[in-house]
């Protein structure tokens, strides 16, 4: 999750539990402490915080029987191993666990065999990325469970993921950007989301958490969830205009109509629908790539791209600078073909 932004909402406090995991609670005056569950900045967190401020205990899931898959997942999500994962990883895996619990939460751990995991992979084989994410999630669960002596055998052991080699996410063209802007003018949440992604270079998980608490003197400063790198990004006029012209949430710029932050998976689906409505074959990640292409074409160096996108080393940034250099060299050299 990175460092907690300051200031926090009123009456919200944080502390570390015995597992070393950061937990939040609300206490109004000398009233009772009410635990707030969910990732800070998430829709669940915001809803629970709102209930707690009103003195209402947030709804908790029903008690699960010991030795079931749902019970094991609950133990895992209360462990230091889970607490040490990046915020974006926890949200993505939490989404997968939700589906697993709905389908097989009451299943005995003894029935979760290698064959069952392989069948779960087959059920998702039409979407290799989803299948591999399912495997990573279950592998993380059962590796922890074996170390914690909740199970003797890891049913994911030896199972390989599917090959998911593709051409990658479609990189937005300048025409795509113009088409999207025409469909979604300044003042719409869709336009604000596009501006945040394009003019900050943030991944969608970080973009959904971005709020006024991360801005000081016109500069965004936050620690990215995936790499843990701290980035400092000056707010460009285009982004400032979009923020100032759009109704935002209290904890996040990109929010629901009710002002609550969007979950990562929900944001991805919502933004893709906005792209479809604009006639753009694009996604949130493809827009991030477009920003890198634009910056490289405008002369950004490897070091400058690393500073914006939170990359380390030269591998990622070089992909964009080398491509930009080839275009420039070709333009400079094409005249040499003439007689």
Query: Which CATH number goes with the domain that contains 258?
Result: 1.10.443.10
Asked whether residue 17 is assigned to any structural domain, the reply reads yes
Both 42 and 73 in a single domain? no
Both 122 and 253 in a single domain? no
* Residue 220 structural domain: 174-332
pTM for the whole structure: 0.54
Check if the beta carbon of residue 199 is closer than 8 Å to that of residue 158. Answer: no
In the structure, what pLDDT confidence band is assigned to residue 3 with cuts at 50, 70 and 90?
A: very low
Is residue 272 within a helix (H) or strand (E), and if so which, with residue range? helix 264-277
Asked whether residue 294 is assigned to any structural domain, the reply reads yes
Both 201 and 92 in a single domain? no
- Distance between CA atoms of residues 259 and 250, nearest Å: 7
Q: Write the CB contacts of 250 (distance below 8 Å, at least 6 apart in sequence).
A: 9, 46, 211, 259
Asked whether residue 180 is assigned to any structural domain, the reply reads yes
Check if the beta carbon of residue 51 is closer than 8 Å to that of residue 57. Answer: yes
In the structure, what pLDDT confidence band is assigned to residue 136 with cuts at 50, 70 and 90?
A: very high
For residues 179-194, average pLDDT? 94
User: Over the range 11-43, which residues count as b (16 or more CB within 10 Å of their CB) and which as e?
Assistant: ebeeeeeeeebeebbbeeeeeeebebbbbbbbb
Asked whether residue 338 is assigned to any structural domain, the reply reads no
Distances (CA, A) of 250 to 8, 62, 315, 319: 11, 30, 37, 37
pLDDT in tens, 244-300: 999 988 788 988 888 888 887 788 888 889 999 999 987 787 888 787 778 777 777
Both 199 and 328 in a single domain? yes
SS3 category, 224: coil
Model confidence at 167: pLDDT above 70: no
User: Which of residues 129, 147, 165 is at a domain's end?
Assistant: 147
The residue among 299, 303, 329 whose CA lies nearest residue 317 is 303
Asked whether residue 154 is assigned to any structural domain, the reply reads no
Check if the beta carbon of residue 45 is closer than 8 Å to that of residue 26. Answer: no
Q: Name the domain count of the chain.
A: 3
Both 234 and 116 in a single domain? no
Residue 223 φ then ψ, to 5°: -100, 120
Both 200 and 317 in a single domain? yes
Which spans in 105-188 are helix H? 114-123, 128-147, 174-183
Dmax (CA) of the chain: 87
Look up residue 104 and give its two tokens.
């097989």
Distance of CA 10 to the CA centre of its chain: 26
């Amino acid at each position: 999750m990175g460092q907690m932004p300051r200031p926090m909402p009123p009456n919200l406090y944080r502390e570390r539990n015995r597992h070393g995991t950061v937990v939040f609670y609300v206490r109004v005056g000398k009233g009772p402490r009410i635990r707030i569950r969910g990732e800070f900045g998430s829709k669940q967190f915001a809803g629970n915080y709102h209930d707690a401020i009103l003195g209402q205990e947030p709804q908790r899931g029903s008690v699960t029987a010991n030795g079931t898959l749902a019970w094991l997942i609950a133990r895992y999500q209360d462990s230091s191993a889970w607490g040490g994962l990046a915020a974006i990883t926890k949200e993505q895996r939490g989404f997968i666990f939700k589906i697993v619990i709905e389908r097989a939460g009451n299943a005995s751990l003894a029935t979760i065999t290698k064959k069952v995991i392989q069948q779960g992979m087959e059920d998702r084989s039409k979407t290799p990325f989803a299948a591999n994410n399912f495997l990573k999630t279950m592998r993380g669960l059962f590796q922890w469970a074996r170390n914690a002596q909740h199970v003797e055998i890891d049913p994911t052991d030896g199972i390989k993921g599917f090959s998911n080699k593709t051409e990658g996410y479609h990189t937005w063209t300048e025409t795509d950007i113009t088409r999207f802007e025409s469909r979604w003018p300044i003042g719409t949440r869709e336009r604000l989301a596009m501006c945040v992604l394009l003019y900050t270079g943030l991944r969608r998980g970080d973009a959904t958490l971005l709020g006024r608490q991360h801005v000081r003197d016109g500069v965004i400063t936050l620690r990215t969830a995936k790499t843990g790198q701290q980035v400092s990004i000056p707010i460009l006029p285009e982004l400032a205009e979009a923020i100032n012209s759009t109704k935002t949430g209290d904890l996040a710029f990109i929010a629901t109509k009710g002002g609550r932050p969007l979950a990562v998976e929900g944001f991805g689906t919502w933004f893709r629908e906005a792209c479809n409505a604009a006639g753009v074959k694009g996604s949130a990640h493809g827009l991030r790539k477009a920003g890198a292409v634009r910056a490289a074409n405008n002369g950004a160096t490897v070091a400058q791209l690393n500073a914006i996108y939170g990359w380390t080393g030269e591998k990622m940034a070089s992909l964009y600078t080398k491509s930009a250099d080839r275009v420039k060299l070709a333009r400079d050299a094409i005249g040499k073909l003439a007689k």
